[in-house]
Amino acid sequence: MMSMGRAFRVTLFGSSHGPEVGATLEGVPAGTPLDLARVQQALDRRRPVGRRLATKRQEEDRLVIDSGLQEGCADGTVIRGHVANQDVRRGPYEQMRDTPRPGHADYPARVRYGATADLSGGGIFSGRMTVGLVFAGAVAAQMLEPQGIQVASFTRAIGSREGQVRDSMTLDEVREGSSRNEVGCPDAEAAQAMEADIEAARREGDSLGGIVETLATGLPVGLGEPFFDGLEGELAHALFAIPAVKAIEFGAGFRAARMRGSEHNDPFFYDGEKVRTRTNHSGGILGGLATGMPLVFRVAVKPTSSIAKSQETVDLSRHEGARLVVTGRHDPCIVPRSVVVVECVTAAVLLDLMMRGGFYP
Ligand SMILES: Cc1cc2nc3c(=O)[nH]c(=O)nc-3n(C[C@H](O)[C@H](O)[C@H](O)COP(=O)(O)O)c2cc1C
């Protein structure tokens, strides 16, 4: 299924080299005001243009709303939004039809869908499909804001470089700091080193992965549905749809396995009328429900699979081994462009859970 969410339902359509990519959004109440300029800003953050370190594919990504809006407000029907694919070059993909790229979806997709499926540019497995996710999430973020919920994602690490980000940093500081460099990391010094590492990897015909961290504040205590549809399950389900996301950890994550209960437990205290915790190893989630502390999680993004180095693969028509040098235009590191995608997917999941749990007016 190309859909996520139950109350706020997002369905993706299009493909990398088809005419368009986008999403339909269901569940936005009639009369909800939507600022399309802000949605466009989010789409612009996803674009490679202006980023020295990204793919040379140049897409304008101008959002067109096909239905569901009247005079700046949702009309209660399905909202359909798309952007056109303009800079399509099929040539490099024709050459690779029979020689699947190691690390990309080419091989299993070809076995599953057959040789006639349009997998040019990655087809539906392309990072371009995240346009629809950003559109949906940027709408969701606007709907969450009046409820006091804010989401901010940033680059925590690229390759072996890790940014130092104080726990006390506010969402606004994180946003401001990460908007100052191409990699989206609030630690300016680390960001410089990351940029240099990406550039070096690109020169070597190679690529780098990294970690995107997300903070969300203002979640009502108890947000999340019991058991299977808790906050962790719903977020993981949606975030793993983002191409190249390979792992997720909430709060202390894998470190929790090496801690003692006395160390890992977050002690409660009264902060005025509010119950808070002294530490936040839980990442703001207990039993799948929001504790009211900031939601904190990290996703691992793998290094871009399409690299310019010669790699071992197979020739599916000749049934023999082959070598492949991937041509075409690819990001040497997907992490900086994934930041806004992770942020938007988080907003879409939180809005859906707000609606399902009766927290959304
Ligand atoms: C914003 C974005 C851009 C991407 N750009 C590329 C790219 O230029 N080249 C590439 O090989 N993979 C790119 N990917 C990742 C692939 O789409 C992904 O690795 C592939 O579909 C296989 O899926 P998997 O890595 O989740 O297993 C991108 C992903 C995102 C989120």
Q: Is 331 in the pocket of ligand 1 (CB under 6 A)?
A: yes
Determine if residue 251 is left, alpha or beta; phi over 0 gives left, psi from -120 to 50 gives alpha, anything else beta: left
348 inside domain: yes
- C-alpha–C-alpha distance, residues 247 and 261, integer Å: 24
Interval between CA 304 and ligand 1 midpoint (Å):
6
Q: What are phi and psi of 87, to 5 degrees?
A: -95, 70
Q: Is 282 in the pocket of ligand 1 (CB under 6 A)?
A: no
The number of the ligand 1 atom at minimal distance from the alpha carbon of 243 is 26
Interval between CA 60 and ligand 1 midpoint (Å):
19
What's the pLDDT score for residue 1?
Answer: 80
338 inside domain: yes
Mean of pLDDT over the chain = 93
Whether pLDDT at 116 is above 80: no
The structural domain count of the chain equals: 1
Q: Is 302 in the pocket of ligand 1 (CB under 6 A)?
A: yes
Structure tokens at 51: 């980023």
Whether pLDDT at 114 is above 90: no
With bands split at pLDDT 50, 70 and 90, how would you rate the model's confidence at 50? low
CATH of residue 298's domain is 3.60.150.10
Whether pLDDT at 119 is above 80: no
With bands split at pLDDT 50, 70 and 90, how would you rate the model's confidence at 59? confident
52 inside domain: yes
35 inside domain: yes
In the chain, the amino acid numbered 135 is: F
What's the pLDDT score for residue 238?
Answer: 98
Of 14 and 123, the structure prediction assigns the larger pLDDT to 14
| Tokens 């799948």 -> residue | 288
322 inside domain: yes
Q: Give the range among 11-15, 167-171, 352-356 with minimum mean pLDDT.
A: 167-171
361 inside domain: no
Q: Which domain holds residue 34?
A: 3-356
- Calculate mean pLDDT across residues 67-72: 96
- Atom 16, ligand 1: which residue's CA is nearest? 243
Going by C-beta distance under 8 Å and a sequence separation of 6 or more, which residues neighbour residue 171?
Answer: 150, 151, 152, 215, 217
283 inside domain: yes
- Atom 3, ligand 1: which residue's CA is nearest? 127
With bands split at pLDDT 50, 70 and 90, how would you rate the model's confidence at 3? very high
Share of the chain above pLDDT 90, in %: 83
Q: Which neighbouring-strand residues pair with 31? A: none
Interval between CA 127 and ligand 1 midpoint (Å):
5
- Calculate mean pLDDT across residues 182-189: 96
Q: Which neighbouring-strand residues pair with 274? A: 271
Burial of residue 322 (number of CB atoms within 10 Å: 0-12, 13-18, 19+): middle
Whether pLDDT at 52 is above 90: no
Sign of CA dihedral 241, 113, 207, 319: positive
What's the pLDDT score for residue 56?
Answer: 66
What's the pLDDT score for residue 315?
Answer: 95
Whether pLDDT at 13 is above 80: yes
